[in-house]
Amino acid sequence: MSYLNLPRLTFSGDFISDVSTVNNDTQHYNNATFEPSFQLPGQGATNGWWNPEGGATFGFQNCRVSQVTYANGQVANDPALDNIIGQIIAGADGRNSGKMVDLDPDNQMVSELWGVTFRILNSNNELLLEGKIKPTAFRDLQTRQTNGGKPNGQALGATWTSVLEDVQWGELANQSSFLNELRATTHQNKISINLSGFGYYYAHADGRFSLGRILGSIGPWFENEPELFAPARRLYGVYQNGKVFGASNFIVHENESRLTVDFGGSFPVSDAMGTVDYNSKLFLAVSKVPLGNPPSSQNVLLLDTSLTIIGQVPYMMGAKDWLSTTAGIVDFSNLSKELMATLLTNQLLLVVGNNTNQYLLVAREAINGNVCRADNFVQRIDNGQTVSVNIYAYRYGKPLVNQNITLNMEPPTPDTQASQNTPPISIVYGNNNPQDGLTYSASAITDENGMATITITGNSINSPRHYIDGQIYWIDYDTAASSSADPAMPGPFPMSVTAHLRDEFTIPEKPVWSDISDIMIQFANLYPIMSKFFINFADPQALIAKKEVLQFAFTRDINDPIYMPVTRDLSKNKRLTILKWLENPIIDDVATKPDASTAKSMDTAQIITTTLTEQQQRFKKATEAKNGSMMNFPVLTNLFEF
Q: Which domains does the chain have, with CATH numbers?
A: 2-15+57-87+117-368 (no CATH), 377-501 (2.60.40.10), 513-601 (no CATH)
pLDDT computed for residue 329 by the predictor? 97
Range name among 356-365, 525-534, 606-615 with the lowest pLDDT average: 606-615
- The secondary structure of residue 148, as a DSSP letter, is T
Q: Which residues pair with 308 in a beta bridge?
A: 286
Q: Which residues pair with 408 in a beta bridge?
A: 476
378 vs 593, higher pLDDT: 378
pLDDT computed for residue 2 by the predictor? 85
**Per residue in 463-508, pLDDT tens?**
999 999 999 999 999 987 665 678 898 765 558 999 999 999 999 9
276, 267 contact by CB (below 8 A): yes
205, 4 contact by CB (below 8 A): no
**Does the model's pTM come out above 0.85?**
yes
116, 89 contact by CB (below 8 A): no
pLDDT computed for residue 43 by the predictor? 65
- Alpha-carbon distance of 89 to 64, in angstroms, equals 5
Query: For helices 572-583 and 547-554, what crossing angle results, to 10°?
Result: 150
pLDDT computed for residue 421 by the predictor? 64
- Mean of the per-residue pLDDT values for the chain? 88
- Alpha-carbon distance of 498 to 387, in angstroms, equals 12
Q: What is the band of 1 on the pLDDT scale with cuts at 50, 70, 90?
A: low
- Alpha-carbon distance of 451 to 265, in angstroms, equals 25
pLDDT computed for residue 354 by the predictor? 77
Range name among 73-77, 110-114, 368-372, 609-613 with the lowest pLDDT average: 609-613
Q: Which residues touch 629 (CB under 8 Å, ≥6 apart)? A: 203, 204
Query: For helices 572-583 and 513-526, what crossing angle results, to 10°?
Result: 110
**Per residue in 304-335, pLDDT tens?**
999 999 999 999 875 678 999 999 999 999 99
458: part of which helix (H) or strand (E)? strand 451-458
**Per residue in 505-561, pLDDT tens?**
999 999 999 999 999 999 999 999 888 888 999 999 999 999 999 999 999 999 999
- Alpha-carbon distance of 87 to 63, in angstroms, equals 9
- Alpha-carbon distance of 5 to 217, in angstroms, equals 10
Q: Where are the beta strands (DSSP E) in 257-300?
A: 258-262, 282-287
For residue 447, the Cα-to-chain-centroid distance in whole angstroms is: 28
Strand, helix or coil for residue 636: helix
Backbone angles phi, psi at 554, to 5 degrees: -80, -5
- pLDDT at residue 605 greater than cutoff 80: no
pLDDT computed for residue 355 by the predictor? 75
572: part of which helix (H) or strand (E)? helix 572-583
- Alpha-carbon distance of 529 to 615, in angstroms, equals 9
Q: CA-based angle 330:333:335, to the nearest 5? A: 125
Q: What is the band of 624 on the pLDDT scale with cuts at 50, 70, 90?
A: very low
pLDDT computed for residue 213 by the predictor? 98
Mean of pLDDT values over 172-190: 97
- Alpha-carbon distance of 76 to 66, in angstroms, equals 9
pLDDT computed for residue 626 by the predictor? 30
**Per residue in 233-260, pLDDT tens?**
999 999 988 888 999 999 999 999 999 9
